[in-house]
Structure 1
Amino acid sequence: MKQNYAAYFPTLRSAAGRLGSAVLLAVAVAGCQNETEVLPNPGPEYYPLAVGTYRIYDVADTTWRNNAPTASRFQFREQVEAELSPDATGQPAYRVVRSRRATATDAWAVDSVLTVTVGRQTVTEQRNNRRSVELVFPVAEGKVWNINAFNAQDTIIAENRFYRNVGQPLSLTRNGKTYAYENTVTTINDVAVEANAAYTTILRTTFAAGTGPVYRVRRRFFHCDNTGTLGCNPSLNYQGQSRSEVLIESGK
């Protein structure tokens, strides 16, 4: 039975961060031969990369200022332009150019550039000199890790991202068209909801096997009144941004 992402969107919280985390390589001892065999690692198939490939996303974006929303729609294209020299550990890296246009008939304009590195244990993205851990291998339900392990946004031992719905189907509808995927995994980090009710950050990405990122959700809100009369209260929704990105086209 296919799932609708919206069905579980509001309910997940950072409590799953209490689950244990470790990045382990799975091994198996082969029968009586006393040999160690590395099991297949399905993780990288959730973020395939090849020079010349591209993905186009439909973006719905709403910015909130003083409790007043401003909505916009546009498109992002992420194109793999080059394979870079391997890093010191021999991990392949790719230069991905993200471009933006207002409508499908407009010309693309470069928005940003990121570097995606695919290792045996992780996939990382680096944008604006900040490196984040997007996937860890092997992929497993409930596995927790630190998305900021390579930057100074959190402590080294922080656990702020986890897997949900590993291997599950997903269908998304955008602009009247449905996009269906048989095998997906969703990474989630919902932070600061319990720790500080004045700040809310929700970051979620769904990856489809053989396709890559197909759905991204980002919500950042600062629940305070600029006038100083109401202070900070989780019931307020004065400042922030809500954005969703749905993959609508990919190819080479």
Structure 2
Amino acid sequence: MIVVSTAVLNSCKKDQVIVNTNGSDMYQSFVPLEIGKYITYDVDSSIWDDVNCIRYSHKSQQQYYVADTFRDDQNRLSYAVNIFSRLTSADNWKVDDVIYYTPAAEKMEVVQKNVRFIKMVNPVKDGQVWQGNSLLPQDDQDFNYLKGWKYTYQNVLQPYDNGARTFDQTVTVSETDQVLNNPETQPDDYGFLLQSKAVYAFRVGMIYREYTYWVYDPVPGSTNCRKGNGVIMRAIDYN
């Protein structure tokens, strides 16, 4: 759960951003925030275990629910989005995390686990590039793999099939795409894969998310395998 000082969070449930749903060039049209809005996802998670040389797979569901608004420490209107999780549709939802969205005129800041990202910017046009992870702590080595990512808009207003549903007008945000060597063909060389992207549908929100990060660091004479994790999220229901 993200810890946020209550001293800087003043609840203001009736104070909301006016979303320009008629302007498809505005990122707010792809992230419509209002209390009560939800999106439900099928989630496929993977873990690469380099000790047992096994790739574990896990299926579950998540729901993003816009629960409340508040003012942050810069007095900016922000939204608290509860993340609920369950194994199957037959199980009860349980609160798993909270994400904070701060929609400003030029950019959308998102805070998760006390880490701040710039997930979208204006204008929304093909080829637009920005440093989405530039607000990360620069002196923390734990975030080194996140530094330097160049977020890029692709396929603006194009249809997208997320594997569960098709959406007519979307925008893809390619966050990073880095690959070095293939362990299958270069078993003696260091390699890694780091890919991340999100797809947003007009007047819906995020309808697809894919993230994969594994590292292959071979030791001569040993059995070497990948270590890492990944997740795919597909929107299956929303209001």
Same fold (TM over 0.5): yes
Aligned twin of 2:61: 75
Say if 2:226 is the partner of 1:238. Answer: yes
Q: TM-score, normalised by structure 1?
A: 0.72
CA 1:237–1:217 in structure 2 vs 1: closer, same or farther (change >3 Å)? farther
CA 1:160–1:237 in structure 2 vs 1: closer, same or farther (change >3 Å)? farther
In structure 2, give the amino acid aligned to 1:151: L
**Mapping of residues 46-57 of structure 1, within 5 Å:** 46-57=30-41
Distance 1:159 1:107 in 2: 37
* Aligned residue pair count: 202
Aligned twin of 2:196: 203
Distance 1:158 1:219 in 2: 17
Shift of 1:159: 5.2
> Which consecutive residues of structure 2, in runs of 5 or more, have no partner in the other structure?
1-22, 138-142, 182-188
Give the % identical residues: 22
Aligned twin of 1:6: none
Shift of 1:172: 2.7
> Which consecutive residues of structure 1, in runs of 5 or more, have no partner in the other structure?
1-38
Aligned twin of 2:166: 180
SS at match of 2:36: coil
List 4+ stretches of structure 1 deviating above 6 A.
Answer: none
- Residues 31-52 of structure 1, C-alpha deviations (whole Å, 9 max, x = no match): xxxxxxxx98522111111001
**Mapping of residues 22-171 of structure 1, within 5 Å:** 41-66=25-50, 67-85=53-71, 88=74, 91-152=76-137, 153=143, 158=148, 160-171=150-161
Distance 1:237 1:208 in 2: 37
CA 1:237–1:201 in structure 2 vs 1: closer, same or farther (change >3 Å)? farther
Q: TM-score, normalised by structure 2?
A: 0.76
**RMSD over equivalenced CA pairs, Å:** 2.6
CA 1:197–1:183 in structure 2 vs 1: closer, same or farther (change >3 Å)? farther
In structure 1, give the amino acid aligned to 2:112: R
SS at match of 1:185: strand
Shift of 1:137: 0.4
